[in-house]
Amino acid sequence: MKPERTRTKLFSRRAALLTGGKMALLGGLGARMYYLQVVEADRYRTLADENRINFRLIAPSRGFVVDRNGDYLAINIQNYQVTLVREQAKDVEAVLRRLAQIINLDEDDFTRVIRESRRRRGFVPITVQNNLSWEEVSRIAINTPDLPGVSIEVGQSRHYPYGSAMAHVVGYVSRVSQEDLTGDPLLELPGFRIGKNGIERKYDLALRGDKGTSEIEVNALGRVIKEISRVEGQTGQEVRLTLDMRLQQEIADRIKDERAASVVVLDVHTGEVRAITSTPSYDPNAFSEGLSTAEWNDLVRNPYAPLTNKAIAGQYAPGSTFKIAVAAAALESGITPDHRVYCPGHMELGDRRFHCWKRPGHGWMALNDAMRQSCDVWYYDVARRVGVDRIAEAARKLGLGSRTGIDLQGEKPGLIPTKQWKRENRGQPWHTGETLVVGIGQGYVLTTPLQLAVMTARIANGGKMVTPYLAMDRIDGRAVTAREPAQEPETLDFRPETLAILQQSLDDSVNHKRGTAYASRIKDEHLAMAGKTGTAQVRRISLAEREVGVRSAEELEWRLRDHALFCGYAPVESPRFAVSVVVEHGGGGSSKAAPIAKDVLLATQRLFGGDDTARATAPAMQRAAARTDEAG
């Protein structure tokens, strides 16, 4: 019996241990379940919801760009696009072939869609083509039963109603590149577009708006089940410009036949840009729709540079328009307006001869005569007396040789040389002959059309340091606030007598019978303009050519012809608007640029000159062109 009792005790002890172990395990499991289901319930509920609920960004509508009158320059329009879902299409290539019989699909479209269909999940839509016409949408809709997985989506695309007439100012939007990424999640949205040029780029943050969100329920594979909530994005700010589209369009029409030209119109008192035009131009809508490689190459390789805004990025020798700055430097240096120089048609310096544009010479010249008839020899003489550094000082005060600060990307600074500049950049000393060349706006001197307009405005307004601008409101990042009332601009350090003499000489240059721009004068004394012609050489004329006669512009190929320039203001009695015109390789400033300036200033004054002119029915520039009796 003893052994059997021992076995019973042993079995009972083992059973108790086993039972205790099971109870311990059950207790631990219960404790763990309590911890997970009660203590950590909120945490795991959140994790479960995050796997079930997705938040997606919604691109906001881009803000509009308008002119000073509220005319739309950049808007958003409906964009119909055709998409394809791989899992519904089954055979992607077959569906694309059927779709290609309905709309135009090239080999690049086929390759792109097939590549994306292999990389993306089967239920994710792939954009096949954007910007479908309503006719294309209709054809696709009718054939939907034969196009499994194909559907029409409605989005927005940027549209520029005035096309090429505003391209260089408003700019365009395009896809986000790797270099554009800043951490803003909006920039990573498929198909999102940002400003790449012009106002679209300068004020991109304000125009871009703020993102919206969509809360959607998805299954374990990420397929959308339903949208739970939606918060629309904040539309971008409207940007209003100082430009007047009527004037802009008239100027664009006036210079459209020139191979390369630019025009700038400023308010001389405020610096408001009323028009800024460059030709040739391009269609910004093509960038919104997507340029082909061939189209892009055509733009880049065009010898007339349609992508360049010549008004702010074209750097030209100013020719005789620079004589305004030279005359200012001479007067400020103590040279009197009756300083007389004899012009025999050239000036000798050492063994070199510097020619006047008028081969027989002008005879005796004082300042007013020299400006009126654009005598080179008079300016050779005063440039040598004043020196290049004083000329540079006066030129910079007038706004030449540095960026004006206009609110556009890509502005070039030009160049006003000094002795120090040449030592630092060329490693050579300055020569007196170079000063003579600078005196007539040639040599190293480079200016932009916008700078010439600023110089003219500062002379016309009595020496106020106006700065050009395009946005009517003050824009800082995303914030748009009303521009404060204009304060009195800083005054240039010029004597009032200097400015009065320059104004009179510019008046005579146009309205005196011997003035170089007399043929382009405005006969109505209430609208009369003042200004200065300029002709800038782009090639050196040899002695042999001078002996037989300099070839006319018509005898030269286009790229060897002189640039034609004019800068002026109107009305003479009470200056309000300044203009600059540059026609690349246009020949003479008096024959090519001055007539354009006359038409532009007539159009400007008739648009902004009061109620009587506003009631006129015919476009101002057409009326100006019709008045052929005003010429010479």
Question: What are the catalytic residues?
Answer: 320
**Sequence-ordered strand ranges (E) for 59-149:** 65-66, 72-84, 126-132
Cα 457 to the chain's mean position, in Å?
A: 22
> Please, are residues 620 and 607 in contact by the beta-carbon 8 Å criterion?
yes
Beta bridge mates, 479: 476
Q: How many Cα atoms within 13 Å fall on the side-chain side of residue 214?
A: 12
Under DSSP, is residue 109 helix (H, G, I), strand (E, B) or coil? helix
Question: Does residue 589 sit in helix, strand or coil?
Answer: helix
> Tokens 């001078």 label which residue?
546
Report the 10 Å Cβ neighbour count for 300: 10
CB 446 within 8 A of CB 317: yes
Q: Which residues pair with 81 in a beta bridge?
A: 153
| Residue 468 near residue 271, CB atoms below 8 Å | yes
Residue 222, phi-psi category: left (phi > 0), alpha (psi -120 to 50), beta (remainder): left
Alpha-carbon distances, residue 382 vs 91, 331, 437 (angstroms)? 82, 10, 12
Structure tokens belonging to residue 171 = 């700019």
| DSSP, res 345 | S
Q: Which two tokens stand for residue 381?
A: 């003489």
* Residue 99, both tokens: 């779709």
β-sheet bridge partners, residue 27:
none
**Beta pairing, strands 150-159 & 72-84:** antiparallel
ω into 280 cis (within 30 of 0): yes
Which residues are within 8 A (CB) of 178 and not within 5 positions of it... i.e. 6 or more apart? none
CA-CA distance, 396 to 73, in Å (whole number)?
A: 34
Helix (H) or strand (E) holding 531: strand 530-536
DSSP collapsed to 3 states, 393-456: HHHHHCCCCCCCCCCCCCCCCCECCCHHHHHHHHCCCCCHHHHHHHCCCCCCCEECHHHHHHHH
CA distance 545 to 558: 18
